[in-house]
Amino acid sequence: MSEKTFSLEELDNLRESQDADFKYTLSDVILFLLYAEKDYPIKGKIKQMKEVFLTLQQVFKNENVQPVFFRKYRFGPYSEEVENTIDQLAFLNLISLRGKKTSNNFAIEINDKGQKLIHEEFVKLPENIRNLLQAKRLSWDTHIPQGMLKLVYRDYEHFLENSVFKQRYQTLDWNDETQRPLEYDS
């Protein structure tokens, strides 16, 4: 199955047309996530992917958002569409990428141009969504990648199927407080 990647302009046109059946694009959601804590980048590729996944699943779950497919992958939910959209946002100079994607120094953040573009849409979000997004982003940012994986696997256990950490997380008792995701758990 071939997938088409849309430009932001094409997505905006599609969203405004009669054919669109979603209110927010993936680009919108990524920019909202970054704007919610605009002074703090998301550090690490694993965390970036998991924060986008959790934002879609937990914050925008009842909103009409562009569908995004996540597959079961080595480090949990993975979406090529998210990767491509982030690259497009960087190409359009709406976000900044720092460091090599394969390094621990990789970071993604919204820049001034991106903030100006998304600000009006962000303040139009229902207050409960804005508040939840800001609270979740603050919470997620305190976790190291392994803590983020625990959060994902606890609530979305089916993503363990192809994970390199399947054995580690499959045996956890999520009701045992000593096994819950900690901020700096390794």
Give me the residues paired with residue 17 across strands: none
Nearest to 69 by CA among 84, 58, 80, 83: 80
Confidence tier at 186 by pLDDT (50, 70, 90)? very low
Q: What is the mean pLDDT of residues 40-65?
A: 93
pLDDT at position 2, please?
40
CB 71 within 8 A of CB 79: yes
Q: Is the pLDDT assigned to residue 3 strictly greater than 90?
A: no
In this prediction, residue 100 carries a pLDDT of 86
pLDDT value at 60 more than 50 = yes
Domain ranges of the chain: 8-143
Closest CA to 26 of 1, 63, 75, 72: 63
- pTM higher than 0.75, yes or no? yes
Which pLDDT score, from 0 to 100, does residue 57 have? 93
pLDDT of residue 184: 39
For the cut 90, the answer to whether the pLDDT of residue 118 exceeds it is yes
Query: 104 pLDDT exceeds 50?
Result: yes
Give the pLDDT confidence score for residue 46 in this predicted structure: 85
Give the chain's radius of gyration (CA, Å): 16
List pLDDT tens digits, range 142-185.
888 777 878 777 776 766 665 555 555 555 454 555 555 544 34
- Backbone phi, psi, residue 150, to 5°: -60, -45
Name the 3-class secondary structure at 76: strand
The pLDDT mean for the chain works out to 81
Number of DSSP helices (H) and strands (E) in the chain, helices first: 8, 5
Per CATH, the number for 8-143 is 1.10.10
In the chain, the largest separation of any two C-alpha atoms, in whole Å, equals: 51
